[in-house]
Amino acid sequence: MKRNKFLLAVGVLTALLLGACSHGKHDSSAPVPVNTNTSGYADTTGGANQLGNAAEDARTAAERALTNNIVYFDYDSSVIKEEYKSVVSAYARYLSANPAAKVRLEGHTDERGSREYNIGLGERRANAVRDALTAAGVTPAQIAVISYGKERPAVEGHDEAAWSQNRRVQIIRL
Amino acid sequence: MTMLKSLSAALALLLALVIAPAQAQLQITVTNGDVGALPIAIVPFTQVGSVRVDVAQVVENDLVRSGRFRAMSRDEMRQKPNQPAQFDPAPWRSQGTDNVVVGQVLDDGKGGYVARFFLLDSLSGKSVVAYDIPVRGPEQMRYAAHQIADIVYEKLLGLPGYFNTKIAYVSAQGLGYQRTYQLIVADSDGEQPRVIATSRETLMSPNWSPDRKQLVYVGYERGRSAIYLHTLASGQVRKLVSEKGINGSPVFSPDGTKLAFVLSFEINPDIYVMDVSGGNRRRLTDHYGIDTEPAWSPDGSKLVFTSDRSGRPQIYEISVAGGEPTRLTFQGSQNLRPSYAPDGKSLLFVNVDGGRQRIALQDLPGGALHLLSNGPLDEGPSFAPGGAVIIYSSQGPHGRQLETVSVDGRVRLTMRQATGDVQEPAWSPLLK
């Protein structure tokens, strides 16, 4: 019991130290490619494999399509823009073809506005992606929605370069 | 590293889990004082040897940080009386200090102490206030000092003191996977921080019960949010609400029997009211917009809340009985996170205008808007008890920090941690 507490304490200490070290790691001025998970959070998308047959190639292509798993939004908007509709449709195809597969849609906002309003806005964005998926034939039971509002920025920074990367829905395969 | 060394490091951290780590300690700076500050002298108290706290220093810090007082330095004091009989008013008068606080900390003969103090007037030479404050043990000594500051503040300014109070806030350290959140309760001067909750997920929206024995807050667990009720004396935590979707913005009613909060499981975010015991839950608003951030009027008859039903977030008022909400804010592109002043005569909120996000106070009903901060990313305002001071969170040079401002905008204070972010401040009510 005592030992467990020590281990827990050491774990927390390590976490705090690591946390302190990771500060400043993100450089908001660095160019960040669109549709790349820059958050440091879980991206469970599998890597492409190198097997040679046609079926495997098709699967690899499908997998590759799923690596674009972020939909970005305009300020205070939950409208899915034209350029991100392909992200949604790739996931719609994947979920329709794999009825046992599930995703979690994580809604995020930039840091402007109050925390709880942003929780609402993040949910509205995630719901917009959910509605687009179900409209494309995905079963609602395959989709979970959660909003983190402005609590989990992908990029640190207090300018539009950072904000535009933070207004997003991340599609996480479960 | 030897085994012994790592064990002692771990031990130190175990202690730190109860008493917040040094990095969570708030450093307080007065950034803008009141030019009309009242001169006062707080003479060092004569204290029994076992007392470690410099009571007079705690009193002085409270009064000076209020911005309403200017304290004489100890070097300038020509005498250091500890009771009225030793008080010679002439030198104090000649140095321009009308008000002098003197006192002693005595053993009460029962294992505790008595903090005895006098507020002396160097014009009349008389004692204006005299109190014996019982102190159960050394750990209570700072509270006695804050009580003395409250009494002096109220006597000289005619406003309720707010020093013997607590501030709850969220401290966040690290980024991404490594980010750790702590809900901390500290004394109003930032001292004695205690960790109430620790999480790898965000902690938000702490709110005090009117008897200040409990806090409600929002946490996340396994991909789901919930409203938690924490009882301070026992450390007991109860999960009050965890519906699918949003569980947010919990606030105690002024009589402490009800909570208003936000749920989205019935389609989208709306305001709900429920008994603290968990019964009689009802939905108060029903709109396809985001309705959030409710706050009770002081008499408990109305609530204000944020809603984007008109397109952008603005502030609305609704009767606790329900009905059609009335829009209260029209200036600026957005107005969010409202609360009533303790006297109900003004509304405190976040105003967004010209790309700046600032703290605003608006007279009710429909009066002028006063901007109290400079932005650009200020948020989460709430009143200190008594309503003379507002606390909020701003973007500082090294992370988010807390700031306080007097309602007239003249006195400003910054409270920051050495590292990380400090946000979501909530000032406790006065102890009644």
Q: B111: domain CATH number?
A: 3.40.50.10070
pLDDT in tens, B24-83: 678 878 777 677 789 999 999 999 988 999 999 999 999 998 989 999 999 999 999 999
Predicted confidence band of residue A52 (pLDDT cuts 50, 70, 90)? low
Q: Which residue has the higher pLDDT, B216 or A12?
A: B216
Contacts of B334 in chain A (CB under 8 A): 113
| Position B47 in a domain | yes
Burial of residue B255 (number of CB atoms within 10 Å: 0-12, 13-18, 19+) = exposed
Q: Which of B104, B139, B157 is the last residue of a domain?
A: B157
- CB-based contact B313 A25, cutoff 8 Å: no
Predicted confidence band of residue A64 (pLDDT cuts 50, 70, 90)? confident
Contacts of A12 in chain B (CB under 8 A): 13, 17, 180, 198
- CB-based contact B336 A113, cutoff 8 Å: yes
DSSP 8-state symbol, B417? -
With a CB cutoff of 8 Å and minimum separation 6, the contacts of B323 are none
Span A125-136, mean pLDDT?
A: 98
Integer Cα distance of B102 and B234 in angstroms: 37
Integer Cα distance of A41 and A170 in angstroms: 10
Q: Are strands B214-221 and B69-71 parallel, antiparallel or unpaired?
A: unpaired
Q: Per-residue pLDDT for A13 more than 60?
A: no
Shortest distance, CA B248 to any CA of chain A (angstroms): 7
Q: Which residue has the higher pLDDT, A14 or A159?
A: A159
- CB-based contact A158 B14, cutoff 8 Å: no
What was the pLDDT predicted at B22?
Answer: 61
B278 and B186 fall within a common domain: yes
Integer Cα distance of B44 and B103 in angstroms: 8
What was the pLDDT predicted at B90?
Answer: 96
Q: Does B179 touch chain A (CB under 8 A)?
A: yes
Q: Which residue has the higher pLDDT, B17 or B337?
A: B337
| Position B320 in a domain | yes
Integer Cα distance of A114 and B248 in angstroms: 12
Shortest distance, CA B380 to any CA of chain A (angstroms): 7
Q: What is the CATH number of domain A70-174?
A: 3.30.1330.60
B136 and B220 fall within a common domain: no
Contacts of B173 in chain A (CB under 8 A): 16, 19-20
Single-letter amino acid, residue B110:
K
The encoded tokens of residue A38 equal: 């820059």
Q: Per-residue pLDDT for A10 more than 60?
A: no
Q: Which residue of B has its CA nearest to A112?
A: B377
Partner residue facing B246 (CB), from A15, A76, A120: A120
- Sign of the Cα torsion A120, A121, A126, A130 reads positive
Shortest distance, CA A58 to any CA of chain B (angstroms): 32
| Position B25 in a domain | no
DSSP 8-state symbol, B267? S
Q: Per-residue pLDDT for A9 more than 50?
A: no
Q: Which residue has the higher pLDDT, B118 or B176?
A: B118
Contacts of B178 in chain A (CB under 8 A): 15, 18-19, 22
pLDDT in tens, B306-324: 999 999 999 999 999 999 9
B233 and B290 fall within a common domain: yes
Single-letter amino acid, residue B70:
R
Residue B329 CB neighbours (<10 A): 22
Contacts of A118 in chain B (CB under 8 A): none
B403 and B328 fall within a common domain: yes
B225 and B313 fall within a common domain: yes
Strand locations in B43-165, DSSP E? 46-47, 69-71, 99-107, 113-121, 127-135
Q: Per-residue pLDDT for B96 more than 80?
A: yes
Predicted confidence band of residue A12 (pLDDT cuts 50, 70, 90)? very low
Question: Which residues face B348 on adjacent strands?
Answer: B339, B361
With a CB cutoff of 8 Å and minimum separation 6, the contacts of B194 are B18, B19, B20, B184, B185, B186
- CB-based contact B9 A13, cutoff 8 Å: yes
B56 and B86 fall within a common domain: yes
What angle do the packed helices B3-18 and A2-22 form, to 10 degrees? 80
Predicted confidence band of residue B326 (pLDDT cuts 50, 70, 90)? very high
What was the pLDDT predicted at B359?
Answer: 98
Burial of residue B267 (number of CB atoms within 10 Å: 0-12, 13-18, 19+) = exposed
The encoded tokens of residue B105 equal: 């900390």
Q: Which residue of A has its CA nearest to B172?
A: A19
Span A19-38, mean pLDDT?
A: 38
Top residue of B4, B15, B19, B175 to mutate, by most chain A CBs within 10 Å, is B175
- What CATH number did the domain enclosing B180 receive? 2.120.10.30
Q: Per-residue pLDDT for B13 more than 60?
A: no
Top residue of B171, B207, B242, B246 to mutate, by most chain A CBs within 10 Å, is B246
The encoded tokens of residue B123 equal: 């014009």
Query: Which residue in the block uniquely carries the two structure tokens 């949010």?
Result: B225
Q: Which residue of A has its CA nearest to B352?
A: A113
Question: Considering its fold, how many domains does chain B have in total?
Answer: 2
Integer Cα distance of B228 and B10 in angstroms: 29
Shortest distance, CA B8 to any CA of chain A (angstroms): 10
What was the pLDDT predicted at B263?
Answer: 98
Span B270-282, mean pLDDT?
A: 96
Q: Report chain B's mean pLDDT, rounded to a whole number.
A: 91
Q: Which of B103, B129, B157 is the last residue of a domain?
A: B157
B216 and B347 fall within a common domain: yes
Span B243-253, mean pLDDT?
A: 97
B333 and B285 fall within a common domain: yes
Q: Phi/psi of residue A92, each to 5°?
A: -60, -45
- Sign of the Cα torsion B319, B322, B323, B325 reads positive
Integer Cα distance of A160 and B262 in angstroms: 29
| Position B13 in a domain | no
Q: Phi/psi of residue B74, each to 5°?
A: -65, -30
Looking at chain B from residue 187 to 226, which residues have their Cβ under 8 Å from any Cβ of chain A? 198, 200, 202, 204-205, 220, 223-225
- CB-based contact B10 A25, cutoff 8 Å: no
Sheet holding B258-263, edge to edge: B247-252, B258-263, B270-275, B282-283
Residue A35 CB neighbours (<10 A): 16
- Sign of the Cα torsion B23, B24, B27, B31 reads positive
- CB-based contact A22 B176, cutoff 8 Å: yes
Residue B431 CB neighbours (<10 A): 14
Q: Which residue has the higher pLDDT, B175 or B50?
A: B50
Q: Are strands B69-71 and B38-42 parallel, antiparallel or unpaired?
A: parallel
B284 and B335 fall within a common domain: yes
B124 and B261 fall within a common domain: no
Q: Per-residue pLDDT for A118 more than 50?
A: yes
Please count the residue pairs, one from chain A and one from chain B, whose beta carbons lie less than 8 angstroms apart: 139
Top residue of B15, B18, B171, B178 to mutate, by most chain A CBs within 10 Å, is B178
| Position B347 in a domain | yes
ipTM (interface pTM): 0.90
Q: Per-residue pLDDT for B162 more than 70?
A: yes
Question: Which residues face B357 on adjacent strands?
Answer: B352, B377
**H-type helices in B19-161, by residue range?**
55-65, 89-94, 141-157
B136 and B238 fall within a common domain: no
Contacts of A116 in chain B (CB under 8 A): 204-205, 248-249, 262, 292-293, 306, 337
Q: Which residue of A has its CA nearest to B176?
A: A40
Domain holding B342, by residue range, is 166-427
Partner residue facing B312 (CB), from A76, A124, A148: A76
Burial of residue B118 (number of CB atoms within 10 Å: 0-12, 13-18, 19+) = buried
Q: Which of B100, B124, B157 is the last residue of a domain?
A: B157
B172 and B111 fall within a common domain: no
pLDDT in tens, B216-244: 999 998 889 999 999 999 999 999 999 99
DSSP symbols for B310-355: TSS-EEEEEETTEEEEEE---SSSEEEEEEE-TTSSEEEEEEEETT
What was the pLDDT predicted at B267?
Answer: 86
Q: E strand or H helix at A95, and its extent?
A: helix A85-97
- CB-based contact A116 B293, cutoff 8 Å: yes
Contacts of B337 in chain A (CB under 8 A): 114, 116-117
Domain boundaries, chain A: 70-174
Looking at chain A from residue 55 to 94, which residues have their Cβ under 8 Å from any Cβ of chain B? 76
Predicted confidence band of residue A130 (pLDDT cuts 50, 70, 90)? very high
Q: Are strands B46-47 and B99-107 parallel, antiparallel or unpaired?
A: parallel
Predicted confidence band of residue B19 (pLDDT cuts 50, 70, 90)? low
Predicted confidence band of residue A61 (pLDDT cuts 50, 70, 90)? confident
Shortest distance, CA A71 to any CA of chain B (angstroms): 19
DSSP 8-state symbol, B275? E
Q: Which residue of B has its CA nearest to A10?
A: B10
What was the pLDDT predicted at B385?
Answer: 92
Span A147-151, mean pLDDT?
A: 95
The encoded tokens of residue B339 equal: 């609360």
Span B188-213, mean pLDDT?
A: 95
- CB-based contact A145 B21, cutoff 8 Å: no
What was the pLDDT predicted at B314?
Answer: 98
Predicted confidence band of residue B356 (pLDDT cuts 50, 70, 90)? very high
